[in-house]
Structure 1
Amino acid sequence: MSVEENLGSSEGLTNNFGEIHNLTELLYLLNHTLSECYTELSENTKRAALFVLYLAIFVVGLVENLLVVFVNWRCPGRGELLRLYILNMAIADLCVVLSLPVWMLEVTLEYTWLWGSFSCRFAHYFYFANMYSSIFFLVCLSIDRYVTLTSTSPSWQRHQHRVRRAVCAGVWVLSALIPLPEVVHMQLVESTEPMCLFLAPLETYDTWSLVVALSTTILGFLLPLLLIAIFNVLMACWLRRKGQPEGRRHCLLLCAYIGVFIICWLPYHVTLLLLTLDGPHISLHCYLSHVLYFFYDIIDCFSMLHCVINPILYNFLSRSFQGRLLRAVVHYLPKVQARAGRRASSVSSSTQHSIIITKEGVQPTAADPHQHPGPSLPAPNASPSPLLLS
């Protein structure tokens, strides 16, 4: 997604507002204003770097989230109620990843939009709705994990299943509503090349841009960060008081949850707010403004790393998940080798069986022809705090 799609405003827009009569003049003003401050930054290098980043995030995120969805859907295991949040978060991250080819092609085509007016709005709506869903499920997971480990209320024990399902449904509905004010102003602009831009009415453009940017930062970063930090810190304090085994490891993971969220999202929201405020509300230095516009797309792409890191933090580091993943892989091993091993075991067993019956007259119990040929798997690690990595 380009900076023009989300911001579309530049310094000097307010001063020249009376001279703008149509979209063509608006686009000319934006390009002219930015080109006045020249810096040695290569757009070709930027597009190549973005293509590689999008492709890497797409491939790795697709594989990771498909595995998470598959394992949590097929092998729920212990604590499956709490894993309902992890499953829904993986689905949201998977949908974000599936939208990346569109942005990758848009960057390659120099932000030319070739897929029509409907897809212009739907692609942005699909991305933002799933982005909010992923963030909100992280919040729900942090809150629910603390409540589940510390609550002794019989009412919570009885109704937690229904509560979690209702919360997940509410998150999807809320995430579907929040992007609407921005998406309704997305338009396909037929200029020299068709572009998909955020275009509110010119008279209220600055107000709409500021409202959208502030709501995105508050609902998508500040409020979630506050809740994630509070409940993970409370969880760490509870673990230290209880003196749980592996408590230090769990505390480090809790800090990693907070740190990764900040690293992924803080640069994006700071850049978004600065560029939105630049011109109508504050005055940035010309070169700083140009650099922020140039790197905005790269920072936006960097924020999508959460789709790659979330599966690792919340799934692949879990011994329980590792065991369920191994069982799922073993289940789908090639059957030819399994059948060959079963036949060999059957022949050996029947020969030994007849010899033993002749000599002892007793049915042997060690050689069971119906035993599963696959390797025996250890039971999932019974961690004293399984909800931390479940």
Structure 2
Amino acid sequence: MSVTASMESSPSKGVTAEPDYDIGEIHNWTELLNFFNHTLSECHVELSESTKRVVLFVLYLAIFVVGLVENLLVICVNWRHSGRAGLLSLYILNMAIADLGIVLSLPVWMLEVTLDYTWLWGSFSCRFAHYFYFANMYSSIFFLVCLSIDRYITLTNASPSWQRHQHRVRRAVCAGVWVLSAIIPLPEVAHMQLVESSEPMCLFMAPFETFSTWALVVTLSATILGFLLPFALIAVFNVLTACRLRRAARPEGRRHCLLMCAYITVFAICWLPYHTTLLLLTLYGTHISLHCYLVHLLYFFFDVIDCFSMLHCVINPILYNFLSPSFRGRLLSAVVHYLPKVQAGAGRRASSSSSSTQHSIVITKEGAQPITAGPHHHPSLDFQAPSTSPISTAQSLTSS
């Protein structure tokens, strides 16, 4: 069993080399570090670690800058309109907070990669940084699941009981998601340790005798709870919602269906390579055999694949917010609200009457949105797809 394979289950990457002797022979930290640094003897692959570090630094920086701006905008707009926005905006707001937490942890991993995986921030931050990342990662994924399930329930359930208690249920679900996400990473984080050698490293260090078991348990739990189960629920409920919309023959049903397919596809693209690579590296040596060239490539590219999985922090705000006409309307309203108010003459007010009319249409659209919806008309179901223009939507909502 490879120690570095299981160690890859955290964002903190260690030495990408595979040992060829038994972990049971290791008795102290020095031998363990030699175990980490032992290279494959069967084959040799020329791969540039310096080039990989530069690529990772650029990717981390780009995700950090774009994700920070996008998620801050989503949080500000949804928080400001939390009382009047769509019924599912609570999940979107919490998902943006979780994605923002992931984005805020990226500078740590970016600097660690630049310093060749040297950890300079002490023992406490070694555990806390990993715990903070994983808790927000699970929260973001679970809120996606809640959003998919709740959207289908709201579309199909018109019972008075659900209409009365839906907001209370959503708040309880969000609180439960945060608590669950805070508990799941504990077994792995409890084994994160700062290993002092020539250079300090933050590593996953389970007991020597049971290391293989711990690594397999941590990896399987991460794959099942962080990908397989959420992906199944997201796929099933989005497909059911799409089928329901197609049967209802709504004008924008086809666009909504395409967008829900995008939800499923993006989740799979972001997380499938990560969990597949992680599982192969964990199983290698004790449960499966892989060609040495493949092992070299998996270890080398795991850091890049891990960084690639964080793209969901950039894509989620676009799919679930910026593609929505209602969100763009709220964003425009928020921008207008914070613009400096200048006392102008009657002529200037007259020249700006057309733009102010457009803003009032957006506000009317939000204000006219009903709190509850019948079984066949759910304007609160924001599928985040381009639909009719704000004017026609506002008029239809106002007339209803």
Range into which the TM-score falls when normalised by the shorter chain: 0.7 to 0.9
Alignment correspondent of 1:322: 328
Distance 2:76 2:160 in 1: 32
Distance 1:220 1:334 in 2: 45
Number of the residue aligned with 1:25:
31
Whole-angstrom distance in 1 between the partners of 2:107 and 2:5: 17
Match among 183, 186, 205 for residue 180 of structure 1? 186
Matched, 1:75 2:77: no
Question: Which of 371, 382, 390 is the matching residue for 1:388?
Answer: 382
Mapped pair 1:234 → 2:228: no
* Counterpart residue type for residue 383 of structure 2: L
Instruction: Select the residue among 162, 173, 176 that pairs with 1:167.
Output: 173
Shift, 1:332, TM fit: 1.6
The equivalent position to 2:91 in structure 1, one of 82, 85, 102, is 85
Distance 1:279 1:59 in 2: 39
Partner of 2:200: 194
Residue 151 of structure 1 corresponds to 157
| Other-structure match for 1:61 | 67
Query: Which whole-Å CA distance do the structure 2 matches of 1:211 and 1:177 have between them?
Result: 15
Paired position in structure 1 for 2:315: 309
Tell me if the contact between 1:73 and 1:87 (Cα under 8 Å) persists in the aligned partners.
yes
SS of alignment partner, residue 27 of structure 2 = coil
1:36, CA displacement in angstroms?
5.8
Q: Alignment partner for residue 245 of structure 1, among 251, 268, 271?
A: 251
Opposite residue 214 of structure 2, the aligned amino acid is W
In 2, distance between residues paired with 1:375 and 1:333? 16
Q: How far 1:298 moved relative to its partner?
A: 0.2
Listed as ranges, the matches of 1:1-390 within 5 Å are 5-6=7-8, 12=19, 15-34=21-40, 37-76=43-82, 78-335=84-341, 338-339=342-343, 342=344, 344-345=345-346, 374=356, 376-377=358-359, 378-379=361-362, 380=365, 385-389=379-383
Give the secondary-structure state (helix, strand or coil) at the position aligned to 2:211: helix
Alpha-carbon displacement from aligned partner over 1:262-321 (angstroms, at most 9, x marks no partner) = 000000000000000011111111111011000000000000000000000000000000
8 Å contact kept, 2:6–2:219 = no
* Counterpart amino acid of residue 178 in structure 1: I
Give 1:385 deviation, angstroms.
4.8
Query: Residue 231 of structure 1 aligns to which amino acid in structure 2?
Result: F
Is contact 2:7-2:203 (8 Å) kept?
yes
% identical equivalent positions = 74
Relative distance call for 1:216 and 1:280 in structure 2 (3 A) is: same
- Cα gap change, 1:3/1:71 in structure 2, threshold over 3 Å: closer, same or farther? farther
Count of residue pairs brought into register by the alignment = 362
Give the Cα–Cα distance (whole angstroms) in 2 for the partners of residues 58 and 18 of structure 1: 41
Counterpart CA distance in 2 for 1:291 and 1:110 is 18
SS of aligned partner of 1:68: helix
Alpha-carbon distance in structure 1 between the residues aligned to 2:94 and 2:299? 34
Q: State whether residues 86 and 382 of structure 2, in contact with CA within 8 Å, keep that contact through their aligned partners in structure 1.
A: no
Distance of 1:185 and 1:148 partners within structure 2: 42
What secondary structure, in the 3-state scheme, does the structure 2 residue paired with 1:188 have?
A: strand
Counterpart of 1:44, as a letter, is: S
1:227 deviates by 0.3
Find the counterpart in structure 1 of residue 387 from structure 2. Answer: none
Q: C-alpha distance in 2, partners of 1:334/1:373? A: 16
Assess, with a 3 A threshold, how the Cα gap between structure 1 residues 172 and 165 changes in structure 2: closer, same or farther.
Answer: same
Classify the secondary structure of the residue corresponding to 1:196.
Answer: strand
Larger mean Cα displacement after TM superposition, 375-384 or 204-213: 375-384
Unaligned 5+ runs, structure 2: 370-376, 385-400
- Alpha-carbon distance between aligned partners in 2 of 1:10 and 1:328, rounded to the nearest angstrom: 51
Q: Secondary structure at the match of 2:39?
A: helix
Task: Return the offset for 1:373.
Answer: 9.0
Amino acid across the alignment from 2:8 = N
Deviation at 1:38, TM superposition (A): 2.1
Given residue 388 of structure 1, which amino acid in structure 2 is its aligned partner?
D
Q: 1:6 to 1:189 in 2, by over 3 A?
A: same
Q: How far apart in 2 are the matches of 1:95 and 1:81?
A: 24
CA contact (8 A) 1:69 1:91 kept: yes
- Please tell me whether Structure 1 or Structure 2 has the larger radius of gyration of its CA atoms: 1
Q: Distance in 2 between the 1:264 and 1:327 partners? A: 33
- The CA distance in 2 between the partners of 1:158 and 1:332, in whole Å, is 34
* Aligned alpha-carbon RMSD (Å): 2.3
Q: Give the 3 Å change call, closer, same or farther, for CA 113–166 of structure 1 in structure 2.
A: same
TM-score normalised per structure 1:
0.87
Q: Shift of the alpha carbon at 1:374?
A: 4.8
Shift of 1:26: 1.7
The letter of the residue matching 2:201 is: M
325-334 vs 224-233, which deviates more?
325-334
The letter of the residue matching 2:166 is Q
- TM-score (normalised: structure 2): 0.85
Q: Does the C-alpha gap of structure 1 residues 217 and 177 become closer, same or farther in structure 2, counting only changes over 3 Å?
A: same
Q: Is the 8 A contact 1:50 1:301 kept in 2?
A: yes
Does the Cα contact within 8 Å between 1:245 and 1:384 map onto a contact in 2?
Answer: no
